[in-house]
A and B are shown apart, each in its own frame.
Chain A
Amino acid sequence: MSLAEPPAAPGPSPSASPGGDGSSDDAPPRPPFAQDWRRIARMGAIGAIGQIFISLSNMPVKLDGRAIIEGVLSLGYLSLVVLPLASGSRVGHQIRREGVPHHRPGAHEIIGGAACGALVGGGLSLLAVLIANFDLREPLVNWSPILADLLGFNRGTAFAVIIWLAIGAAVGAAGGLLRVVPPLARRVLWTMVLTLFGAAVLESLTTDLAEGMGIEGLIEWFYAPRGGLTITGAIALAAGSGVLAFVARGRIKGAKSRIDALEGPARNRANLGLILATAAVLVILPMFAGKLTNELLANVGLFVLLALGLNIVVGLAGILDLGYVAFFAVGSYSAAVLTAATSPKIHPELPWFVALIGVVLLTGLVGLFIGAPVIRMRGDYLAIVTLGFGEIIRLLFLSDWLSGWFGGSQGITNIPGAEIFGLATVAGTDPRSVFYLVLAFCAIAIYVSWRLERSRIGRAWMAVREDETVAEAMGINTVNVKLLAFVVGAVLGSFSGAIFSAKVGSVFPASFLILVSIVILVVVIFGGMGNIVGVVAGSAVLIGVLGGPKQPGLLAEFSEFKLLIYGALLVWMMLARPEGLIPSVRRTRELHQEEMAQDAWLRGQTEDDNGGRDATASTAATSGSTVEAARLAGESA
């Protein structure tokens, strides 16, 4: 989708120049078929390739079983119309950016979108024809009659060819139409679509909650017995959400900006209110939720804890740690050794909370031990070395050499649950209590992160992240400060590990694959580096919906395509919203600095001399980095 965005700078388009106004008045209206067909063709070709790729990844077939609206649309078919819609909408958007004077949205967008969508759909038609005539099952395992049947709606290849061209054109036109309708209508439409999608995706969660609250009757009306929304339910939901979006237009944003505008004690009160409300929901919700929901919440919580720890290392101190799973592993194993009677070598069988002290000390030590050599490196080298250490720790737990201590590949089993001061025992059999334990630790971690970010040491971390040399010149001992970030991150990760071992009841080296590190990093980047709320949101979306490395999410069917979707999301995120889902203001500033400098330059062009001078100065400020790069090059020569 946005992958295909051409690199052409939108910058000083002809329509922006003041001279364009006079000449454009007598410009004839553009005929609707006068389009940039090359661009549409390119967009359509990229979309078609993407759509064929999705089909051959077997996503449509696998996800066909999961209905969104009963008998009308399944997730599988949805995966086939996403790209026509996105590319149609994209083409419509690009027409606006062509800079044609006095362009009025209308037929151009719809025709362009339809043409592009038809091309993408044509890709599927082509695929259907190819499957019918050639057998490429050998390299492409999903090149199957099942896919052909799905594409042809069981009515043969000719039907498939025609129907996909038609569907593509229709969906593409709808995508173009999105660019034509007024913003309010677009928002209402999007709300309806997202509500339907969300309701379908969250089916197991809502059913589970409804059972807890005793309103199954209502839920049965919305959801079909074999999964997916009923048609009446879908219509009701769409109408309801549409009306709601229409009524609430601008109000949510207004309320948010009003809260943002508050200052001092009033702002603090508003924040406190929000925090208390969130806490209340999180405490009360699990009481009504069943096992499934609580299990899910506990998993999300474990990843929130890990992501918060990594966020301190990567987000605040700017140390790209690719081996963060090491601390999760050390936390899990040390908790297991200290609490389990079955631990091979020593088994003190400490109560969980007492063992936690040992866990923190051990992980802190390991953090120091790994960090000390690593932290002196910068950038890429550091990332590679942390990657190596992450694997070394796992291989040590797996090794024969230490199997007398940690059981090698057999791991340690029968780990008792965490006993909370004799009040309750937290074990995997009772996910609700696990969730509450995780919640408590998340609260601690969030508070610690929040305080640290605003403390002297937090400022030092950010200074090191921004410019290590200058931070050093300020008298900051950069090595110590970075080491501290590494250790604090390690300890937060070890909490997650300790809860994990009590929850699962066993630890194996296979639970600490490098994939875990990567998933946590993706969560942090996806949510918004350096932002606590973003990190929590990222965990909820990625782990909760798609699932963690071994934990199923709400969309259990997605587990096969989890990594594919992670990757696609990450690429899309970096292109469209590099600051993350919920950005911290700092990141946004940095990542969009170039655009802002460009804006300043453009504004400077039209303003008087004085204004222009300031703008030149800010451009000079950004170009300073180029000079710096030249200097560094000179230094190394």
Chain B
Amino acid sequence: MSTGASGAAGSASQDGGSGAASTAERTPLLEMRRVNAHYGAVHALRDVDLSIYQGELVCLLGGNASGKSTTLKTLLGMLTPTSGEVVLDGEVVNDRPISYRVARGITMVPENRRLFKRLTVRENLQLGAYLRKDSDGIAADMEHVYELFPRVKERLGQRAGTLSGGEQQMVAIGRALMSQPRVLLMDEPSMGLAPALVQQNFELISQIHEAGMTVFMVEQNANMALGIADRGWVLQTGRVVLDDTAEALLANPALRTSYLGGGKGASDGSSGADGTAAG
């Protein structure tokens, strides 16, 4: 996290359609080029193109079984695409294992936080830094997490499962930050949380984004996500159907009709299963 300090560049792409032009000259930090992915016979992703630039906060929206989580799994390496390329900082990483990608800066915050509940908060954070060998750097990043989330420091010796939902969310983000990510993949940050906590969670995400972190967020709750994001995509049955800035997407009637289904989407973040089912 100490590396990612160019937050200003990302926010430049916010204003209107000029964003696409200004980012075109730079190489994306993380990219998907015409990716197709399958679960057995199910065609989960169809020719998906995504590019995430340094310092951006972008979101991928979509209803159940639209392929959102599949996209995350493909980016992290839990699923190998059947065709197309996953590109990390100019390098094709299709055949690279998860550990390679994590060591080079992709980290995921899983949905529902999924802390190691019986381990202490400290152990959870240490596990985030599993692939790192620089004990000084790890210690420094621990301090950095405490600065971001002072409540985490008070809970270090406690089992993660005994924390409140809000604290667990902080530990989950802290654990992800411990791997020194360059891009943070957030899987459904609003999933399974009470409305007040969803709000708090999105505030945490903007907070780390403002500190310079590149964030790629997968969400069902379009209004909340677009409220803090720079850009966004809408995925429908494995295909990107909309690709625009956050403001334009919020204003786009196509989003309202096709995905939000008449504006009920704002509060249904905690409903049932998510997009992993992929058809």
| Interface positions of A from 454 to 501, Cβ below 8 Å from B | 456, 459-460, 462-463, 466-467, 469-477
Instruction: Report the minimal beta-carbon distance from B65 to chain A, rounded to whole angstroms.
Output: 8
A620 to B113, CA, bound (A): 12
A586 to B157, CA, bound (A): 12
Would B192 and A623 count as touching, CB distance under 8 A? yes
A596 to B162, CA, bound (A): 9
Closest B residue to A473 by CB, please name it. B108
Partner of B272, one of A462, A624, A627: A627
Closest A residue to B76 by CB, please name it. A473
A88 to B11, CA, bound (A): 72
Residues of chain A within 8 A of B191, CB atoms compared: 627
Q: When each residue 12-47 of chain A gets 1 if its CB lies under 8 Å from chain B and 0 otherwise, what string results?
A: 000000000000000000000000000000000000
Let me know if B161 is at the binding interface, CB within 8 A.
yes
Would B164 and A475 count as touching, CB distance under 8 A? no
Q: Which of A77-85, A332-340, A609-617 contacts B (4 or more CB under 8 A)?
A: A609-617
Closest A residue to B120 by CB, please name it. A586
Partner of B123, one of A462, A618, A630: A462
Chosen A-B contacts, 23 in total, with CB atoms closer than 8 Å, are A456-B126, A460-B127, A462-B118, A463-B130, A466-B119, A469-B114, A473-B102, A474-B130, A589-B118, A590-B118, A590-B161, A617-B165, A617-B194, A618-B163, A621-B113, A621-B168, A623-B192, A627-B191, A630-B273, A631-B273, A631-B274, A633-B273, A635-B277
A585 to B123, CA, bound (A): 14
Instruction: Report the minimal beta-carbon distance from B159 to chain A, rounded to whole angstroms.
Output: 5
Would A614 and B127 count as touching, CB distance under 8 A? no
| Interface positions of B from 229 to 272, Cβ below 8 Å from A | 272
A589 to B116, CA, bound (A): 12
Give 7 new A-B contacts, CB below 8 A, not counting A456-B130, A631-B274.
A460-B130, A463-B116, A473-B76, A596-B162, A617-B193, A627-B272, A627-B273
The 8 closest A-B pairs by CB, nearest first: A617-B165, A475-B102, A634-B277, A586-B118, A466-B116, A475-B99, A624-B112, A475-B131
> In the complex, which of the residues A466, A474, A585, A635 has the most CB atoms of chain B within 10 Å of its own CB atom?
A474
Closest B residue to A621 by CB, please name it. B165
Would A476 and B99 count as touching, CB distance under 8 A? yes
Closest B residue to A457 by CB, please name it. B130
Let me know if A587 is at the binding interface, CB within 8 A.
yes
A589 to B115, CA, bound (A): 14
Let me know if A271 is at the binding interface, CB within 8 A.
no
Partner of B179, one of A475, A477, A593: A475
Would A470 and B116 count as touching, CB distance under 8 A? yes
Residues of chain B within 8 A of A586, CB atoms compared: 118-119, 159
Chain A residues touching B, range? 35 or more
Residues of chain B within 8 A of A616, CB atoms compared: 165, 194
Let me know if A637 is at the binding interface, CB within 8 A.
yes
Would A590 and B97 count as touching, CB distance under 8 A? no
Residues of chain A within 8 A of B98, CB atoms compared: 472-473, 475
Residues of chain B within 8 A of A621, CB atoms compared: 113, 161, 164-165, 168
A628 to B111, CA, bound (A): 9
Closest A residue to B126 by CB, please name it. A459
Residues of chain A within 8 A of B162, CB atoms compared: 589, 596, 618
Would B161 and A589 count as touching, CB distance under 8 A? yes
Taking A459-B126, A475-B179, A627-B112 as contacts, is the C-beta distance between A589 and B99 under 8 angstroms? no
Classify the secondary structure of A's interface with B: helix
Residues of chain A within 8 A of B113, CB atoms compared: 621, 624
A467 to B161, CA, bound (A): 13
Let me know if B55 is at the binding interface, CB within 8 A.
no
Instruction: Report the minimal beta-carbon distance from A619 to chain B, rounded to whole angstroms.
Output: 9
Closest B residue to A462 by CB, please name it. B119
Let me know if B41 is at the binding interface, CB within 8 A.
no
Residues of chain A within 8 A of B197, CB atoms compared: 617, 620
Instruction: Report the minimal beta-carbon distance from B174 to chain A, rounded to whole angstroms.
Output: 13
Would A474 and B128 count as touching, CB distance under 8 A? yes
A596 to B277, CA, bound (A): 32
Taking A475-B179, A627-B191 as contacts, is the C-beta distance between A618 and B165 under 8 angstroms? yes
Let me know if B110 is at the binding interface, CB within 8 A.
yes
Instruction: Report the minimal beta-carbon distance from B102 to chain A, rounded to whole angstroms.
Output: 3
Let me know if B24 is at the binding interface, CB within 8 A.
no
Partner of B117, one of A466, A471, A628, A630: A466
Would B179 and A634 count as touching, CB distance under 8 A? no
A620 to B190, CA, bound (A): 12
| Interface positions of A from 233 to 277, Cβ below 8 Å from B | none
Q: When each residue 136-169 of chain B gets 1 if its CB lies under 8 Å from chain A and 0 otherwise, what string results?
A: 0000000000000000000000010111111010
Residues of chain A within 8 A of B272, CB atoms compared: 627, 630
Would A590 and B276 count as touching, CB distance under 8 A? no
Instruction: Report the minimal beta-carbon distance from A264 to chain B, rounded to whole angstroms.
Output: 13
A614 to B167, CA, bound (A): 10
Closest A residue to B130 by CB, please name it. A474
Residues of chain B within 8 A of A466, CB atoms compared: 116-119
Partner of A635, one of B108, B131, B276: B276
Taking A474-B102, A585-B159 as contacts, is the C-beta distance between A637 and B116 under 8 angstroms? no
Instruction: Report the minimal beta-carbon distance from A590 to chain B, rounded to whole angstroms.
Output: 5
Would B130 and A617 count as touching, CB distance under 8 A? no
> In the complex, which of the residues A469, A616, A623, A631 has the most CB atoms of chain B within 10 Å of its own CB atom?
A631
Let me know if B78 is at the binding interface, CB within 8 A.
yes
Let me know if B196 is at the binding interface, CB within 8 A.
yes
Residues of chain A within 8 A of B112, CB atoms compared: 624, 627-628
Residues of chain A within 8 A of B131, CB atoms compared: 474-475
Residues of chain B within 8 A of A631, CB atoms compared: 273-274, 276-277
Q: When each residue 577-592 of chain A gets 1 if its CB lies under 8 Å from chain B and 0 otherwise, what string results?
A: 0000000011101100
Partner of B99, one of A477, A596, A628, A633: A477
A616 to B197, CA, bound (A): 10
Residues of chain B within 8 A of A634, CB atoms compared: 65, 273, 276-277
Let me know if B93 is at the binding interface, CB within 8 A.
no
Let me know if B211 is at the binding interface, CB within 8 A.
no
Let me know if B228 is at the binding interface, CB within 8 A.
no
Residues of chain A within 8 A of B276, CB atoms compared: 631, 634-635
Residues of chain B within 8 A of A593, CB atoms compared: 117, 161
Instruction: Report the minimal beta-carbon distance from B160 to chain A, rounded to whole angstroms.
Output: 9
Residues of chain B within 8 A of A637, CB atoms compared: 277
Let me know if B103 is at the binding interface, CB within 8 A.
yes
Would B165 and A620 count as touching, CB distance under 8 A? yes
Taking A617-B194, A631-B276 as contacts, is the C-beta distance between A470 and B110 under 8 angstroms? yes
Instruction: Report the minimal beta-carbon distance from A213 to chain B, rounded to whole angstroms.
Output: 44
Partner of A589, one of B117, B193, B277: B117
Would B179 and A467 count as touching, CB distance under 8 A? no
A463 to B124, CA, bound (A): 8
Residues of chain A within 8 A of B103, CB atoms compared: 475
Instruction: Report the minimal beta-carbon distance from B125 to chain A, rounded to whole angstroms.
Output: 10
Residues of chain A within 8 A of B114, CB atoms compared: 467, 469-470, 624
A590 to B116, CA, bound (A): 11
